């Protein structure tokens, strides 16, 4: 005689698992809380530009939105370092392009700090806010202008950066550009800004 109770038990077990997951979900830790070491490893691979390692970690459950103690995500780190392939992997896995760290900086701020037009292009194409302001009111355009990055200034202006925005000290992008040491670069940027 053949036993036929296994499907019933299996069905009951599956139902119990679903009910447990539904009722316990609000009390379970997030991916970021479960594996802080994964956060550090993901940031490390993003910093060195290893897109394959980042891809593997994300596929194994690493949270692309996990942040360090300063609120800096792997996307921000990759943007600052200019690692396009890492950015593509993270964006493909729904990393938030307008997330902010503790200082209010977005990945586009980090790309401007890294002086990387290709990274800025990718972020802008992915929906980054060109006029995002950090907690001091600084925009990516101000960062680029202050760094003397004329190509980046042009790119941000083409994307719709607002030259009239001011930071908490009342400085606009032209005020940042006036601090550039090289007079030729300074003049080019001021001309781009219409100042």
3-state secondary structure 55-96: HHHHHCCCCCCCECCCCCEHHHHHHHHCCHHHHHHHHHCCCC
Predicted pLDDT at 42: 87
Q: 30-105 is classed in which CATH architecture?
A: Alpha Horseshoe (1.25)
Question: Per-residue confidence at 16, pLDDT binned at 50, 70, 90?
Answer: very low
pTM check: above 0.85: no
Equal fold, 30-105 vs 130-195: yes
Q: Which residues, in sequence order, are bridge partners of residue 67? A: 73
Q: What is the pLDDT of residues 48-100, one digit of tens each?
A: 999 999 999 998 888 898 888 899 999 999 999 999 999 999 999 999 999 99
Residues β-bridged to residue 71: none
pLDDT above 70: percentage of residues in the chain: 81
Cα gap 30→64, rounded to integer Å: 12
Q: Give CATH superfamily name and number for 130-195.
A: Ankyrin repeat-containing domain (1.25.40.20)
């Amino acid at each position: 005689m053949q036993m036929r109770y296994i499907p019933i038990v299996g069905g009951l077990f599956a139902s119990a698992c679903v009910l447990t997951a539904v009722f316990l979900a609000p009390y379970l830790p997030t991916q970021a809380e479960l594996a802080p070491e994964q956060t550090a490893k993901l940031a490390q691979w993003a910093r060195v530009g290893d897109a394959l390692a980042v891809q593997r970690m994300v596929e194994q459950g690493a949270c692309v939105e996990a942040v360090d103690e300063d609120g800096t995500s792997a996307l921000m780190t990759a943007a600052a370092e200019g690692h396009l392939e890492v950015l593509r992997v993270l964006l493909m896995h729904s990393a938030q392009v307008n997330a902010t760290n503790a200082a209010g900086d977005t990945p586009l701020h980090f790309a401007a700090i890294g002086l990387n037009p290709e990274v800025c292009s990718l972020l802008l194409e992915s929906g980054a806010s060109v006029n995002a302001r950090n907690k001091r009111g600084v925009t990516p355009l101000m960062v680029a202008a202050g760094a003397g990055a004329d190509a980046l200034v042009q790119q941000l202006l083409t994307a719709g950066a607002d030259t009239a925005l001011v930071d908490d000290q009342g400085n606009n992008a032209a005020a940042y550009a006036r601090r550039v040491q090289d007079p030729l670069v300074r003049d080019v940027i001021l001309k781009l800004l219409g100042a």
